[in-house]
Amino acid sequence: MRRFTWFNATSLSLGFAFLYIPMIILIVYSFNSSRLVTVWAGFSTRWYGELIQNEAFLDAAWVTLRVAFVSSCIATVLGTMAAYVLVRGGRFMGRTLFSGMIYAPLVMPEVITGLSLLLLFISIGLDRGVFTIILAHTTFSMCYVSVVVSSRLVSFDRSVEEAALDLGCTPFDAFKSVTLPIIAPAVISGWLLAFTLSLDDLVIASFTAGPSATTLPIKIFSSVRLGVSPEINALSTILISLVTIGVVTASLVSKRRIVQARRDEQMAEQTA
Amino acid sequence: MQAQARPAEFAPWNDPNETPLIRFDGVTKRFGNFTAIDDIDLAIHRKEFFALLGPSGCGKTTLMRMLAGFEAPTEGQITIGGKDMAGIPPNKREVNMMFQSYALFPHLTIWDNIAFGLKRSDMAKDQIAARVDEMLRLTRLERFSKRKPHQISGGQRQRVALARSLAKAPKLLLLDEPLGALDKKLRQDTQFELMDIQEKTETTFVIVTHDQEEAMTVASRVAVMDNGKIIQVDTPPRIYESPNSVYVADFIGDVNLITGTAQLGQGGAALLTWAEGQPEIIGTAGEGLSASAPATFAIRPEKVNISESRPECVNNVVRGKIHDIAYLGNISTYHVELPDGQIIKAQTANNRRLSQRMYTWEDEVYLSWTDTAGLVLAG
């Protein structure tokens, strides 16, 4: 099956080159001792040192993390509730409208979402800052959560919930002790998705952020406009390593789960 | 009809002083324009093992889901133990259900699955443990109590589902095609296990099935359903021997049907004129049969005798040619073609070796049956 051919090798290396050469160059240059980004002047960790002392960057990073954490938590709760109602609620007045509306932010250009939120905040007189960014991020990431969670809800056997009701659960108890544990993986991946979307977002945040709060993407983008500094390379390298650690951990965990499931199946067969 | 009810026999439905556990009074259920249940009256008694039998889409599952509280009747009233069930949600009913898919909780161990309902009652902790252990013993699952549902086999899962639904000692247990996912051998063993458990726990069981053999094996009474209506409710022998309609006769087991015109005879007998130049068939008159009306003669293949020479002293004799032989090991079914092209099936036990078989293809044979072997049914 897995034979080495020149064709396979070429397509693999081409694919990887496209994906990773830009990042590798960025990582390499983050250890450049020169102030000029494109001129190599020897290895140094100088920019990492300067980054740690750069209050503006650290503040922006802290704001970003807070916004991402809070908004993804709210989005997960709201998105899960919306998904549950859409999948399990049967027919109710305005169901079609509601299900259409919830997916609208997925296809809406970010600029429009950002602008409309800005207009809303101005018209109700809300001062722009961390709070408004959280609201904005919750708005667009809850629809991603509800898509992920509802696809899980659709695929799981309704009678498991009915069994819980039949055994004496109130509908809320049934949701809490049966439905939620079963859809937990989808809820967690919905949360992770919302968290990353919020970390990434530049457009909506730049509409809804005020002078008091700047997120990291805004900070990076605005400083790049003044010329790329090696500090940004260092910062990006740190972000890349954080993401890599997260992805590798997640894949290791899921691999272990697959091995466990296979062992369980064997156990079931032996005792059958 | 046969008033041979021995005192020990379990037949509360014949006792006018007995109040039934479950009553359906004029129950109708509609989903939009579709009528799933059409004006049903039904009474089910305590400790009965009651089977709802019918083809898929006949409404048997809807009937059961109304008992569990997952559906509400559009019209009519359902009472359990004398109490009107309207508006009572599933979690407030002393009814438990075993689901077709088993619906085990995948994130809980077998022990916790069985304890799930008990933990939601006001039972003390040590009593719960004792009850769960008792259920594990009853269903022979002690070894698996710490496993998760995906770590056990299909047959074991079926027993967990049963144990979980019995744990709260419900007044009424509903079983929705409980054995559908098991292979034939395991299914037969489990049928007897179910009957055993039903007797031990003295619970009323209502089972939904489309498998007539299963219904006949386990049930004290069977309700045959079609298109949202109950066609006949009776004990398995009566359903088989005295079906009240052509539909029931045809649905349960194998049957020969001959259409013609009925004449009423003496002492519950009836005559069927069915083909020109052929003597009339004599049979037992079915319910609601009227003279000179179209009727159908129904007879089970095992009640038809096959012989080489014309049998003496029997009124019902027809002559035909063997068209086909179905050899099933223990029995053979002969498909005999009558002069007018109709096929009549006759079944004989293979009490001889195959090489000594008396008849073969294209043989001319006589088919005969006694005056009471078959039924003349209206329609």
Tell which of B101, B109, B120 to mutate to test the A interface (max A CBs under 10 Å).
Answer: B120
- Say yes or no to pLDDT of A271 above 70: no
Yes or no: domain B12-94+170-246 corresponds to CATH 3.40.50.150: no
Q: What is the DSSP letter of B83?
A: E
Q: Tokens 């902790």 correspond to what residue?
A: B125
pTM (2 d.p.): 0.80
Can you give the pLDDT at residue B355? Answer: 65
Q: Are residues A197 and A135 in the same domain?
A: yes
Is residue A15 a part of any domain in this protein? Answer: no
Q: How far is B217 from chain A (nearest CA, A)?
A: 25
How many domains, chain A?
A: 2
Is residue A263 a part of any domain in this protein? Answer: yes
CB within 8 Å: B168 and A163 = no
Please give chain B's pLDDT, 379 residues, in tens: 444 445 567 888 888 888 899 999 999 999 989 999 999 999 999 999 999 999 988 999 999 999 999 999 999 999 999 999 999 999 999 999 999 999 999 999 999 999 999 999 989 999 999 999 999 998 889 999 999 998 898 889 999 999 999 999 998 999 999 888 788 888 888 899 889 889 888 899 999 998 888 999 999 999 999 999 999 999 999 999 999 999 999 999 899 999 999 888 888 888 898 888 788 899 998 888 888 889 999 999 999 999 888 888 888 999 999 999 998 888 889 999 998 889 999 998 888 776 666 788 888 999 999 999 999 998 7
3-state SS class at A196: helix
CATH of residue A226: 1.10.3720.10
Residues of chain A positioned with their CB less than 8 A from the CB of B121? 168
pLDDT level of residue A213 (50, 70, 90 thresholds): confident
Q: Are residues A63 and A191 in the same domain?
A: yes
Rounded-to-10 torsion of CA B314, B318, B319, B321: -120
Alpha-carbon gap, residue B333 to A42, rounded angstroms: 95
Residue B322 in contact with residue B346, Cβ under 8 Å? no
Is residue A162 a part of any domain in this protein? Answer: yes
Alpha-carbon gap, residue B280 to B317, rounded angstroms: 10
Q: Are residues A79 and A168 in the same domain?
A: yes
Q: Which residues contact A54 (CB under 8 A, 6 or more apart)?
A: A231
CB within 8 Å: A162 and B103 = yes
Alpha-carbon gap, residue B214 to B161, rounded angstroms: 19
Q: What is the mean pLDDT of chain A?
A: 87
CB within 8 Å: B153 and A271 = yes
Residues of chain A positioned with their CB less than 8 A from the CB of B120? 167-169, 173
Is residue A102 a part of any domain in this protein? Answer: yes
Q: Are residues A169 and A250 in the same domain?
A: no
Q: What is the DSSP letter of A175?
A: I
Is residue A255 a part of any domain in this protein? Answer: yes
Mean pLDDT of A105-120: 90
Q: Which of residues 64-93 of B touch A (CB under 8 A)?
A: 68-70, 89-91
Residues of chain B positioned with their CB less than 8 A from the CB of A261? 150
Question: Among partner residues A160, A169, A272, which is closest to B91 by beta-carbon distance?
Answer: A169
- Say yes or no to pLDDT of A2 above 70: no
Residues of chain A positioned with their CB less than 8 A from the CB of B99? 159, 162-163
Is residue A164 a part of any domain in this protein? Answer: yes
Alpha-carbon gap, residue A79 to B155, rounded angstroms: 38
Question: Among partner residues B99, B104, B121, which is closest to A168 by beta-carbon distance?
Answer: B121
Strand partners, A114: none
Q: Are residues A189 and A98 in the same domain?
A: yes
Residues of chain A positioned with their CB less than 8 A from the CB of B104? 160, 163
On whether any CB of chain A is under 8 Å from the CB of B30, the answer is no
Q: Which residues contact A85 (CB under 8 A, 6 or more apart)?
A: A98
Spell out the domain ranges in chain B.
12-94+170-246, 254-378
- Say yes or no to pLDDT of A192 above 80: yes
On whether any CB of chain A is under 8 Å from the CB of B95, the answer is yes
Residue B170 in contact with residue B203, Cβ under 8 Å? yes
Mean pLDDT of A210-234: 84
Q: Are residues A150 and A197 in the same domain?
A: yes
Q: Which residues contact A88 (CB under 8 A, 6 or more apart)?
A: A153, A158, A161
Q: Please tell me the least confidently modeled range out of A4-13, A220-229, B236-245.
A: A220-229
A interface with B, Cβ–Cβ below 8 Å: 157, 159-160, 162-170, 173, 178, 181-182, 261, 264-265, 267-269, 271-272
| Nearest chain B residue (CA) to A163 | B103
Alpha-carbon gap, residue B330 to B210, rounded angstroms: 25
Higher pLDDT among residues A1 and B87, named by residue? B87
Mean pLDDT of A174-194: 91
pLDDT level of residue A35 (50, 70, 90 thresholds): confident
CB within 8 Å: B101 and A269 = no
Mean pLDDT of A26-47: 84
> What is the span of the domain harbouring residue A265?
242-272
Q: How far is A130 from chain B (nearest CA, A)?
A: 39
Where helices occur in chain B by DSSP H, the ranges are 60-68, 110-119, 125-138, 154-166, 184-201, 212-218, 236-241, 246-251
Residues of chain B positioned with their CB less than 8 A from the CB of A272? 153-156
Is residue A180 a part of any domain in this protein? Answer: yes
Can you give the pLDDT at residue B2? Answer: 47
Is residue A248 a part of any domain in this protein? Answer: yes
Q: How many CB pairs under 8 A join A and B?
A: 79
Can you give the pLDDT at residue B366? Answer: 92
Q: Are residues A93 and A191 in the same domain?
A: yes
Q: Are residues A174 and A102 in the same domain?
A: yes
| Nearest chain B residue (CA) to A182 | B107
Length of chain B: 379
The conformational region for residue B59 under phi > 0 = left, psi -120 to 50 = alpha, else beta, is: left
Q: How far is B279 from chain A (nearest CA, A)?
A: 58
Residues of chain B positioned with their CB less than 8 A from the CB of A178? 105
Q: What does the pLDDT look like over A90-110, one tens digit per residue?
A: 777 788 888 888 888 888 898
Residues of chain B positioned with their CB less than 8 A from the CB of A157? 101, 103
CB within 8 Å: B116 and A167 = yes
Tell which of A158, A159, A160, A167 to mutate to test the B interface (max B CBs under 10 Å).
Answer: A167
% of chain A exceeding 90 in pLDDT: 37
Q: Which CATH number fits domain B254-378: 2.40.50.140, 2.70.98.10, 3.30.300.90, 3.40.50.1820?
A: 2.40.50.140
| Nearest chain A residue (CA) to B116 | A167
Can you give the pLDDT at residue B354? Answer: 67
Q: How far is A110 from chain B (nearest CA, A)?
A: 39
Tell which of B91, B95, B147, B174 to mutate to test the A interface (max A CBs under 10 Å).
Answer: B91
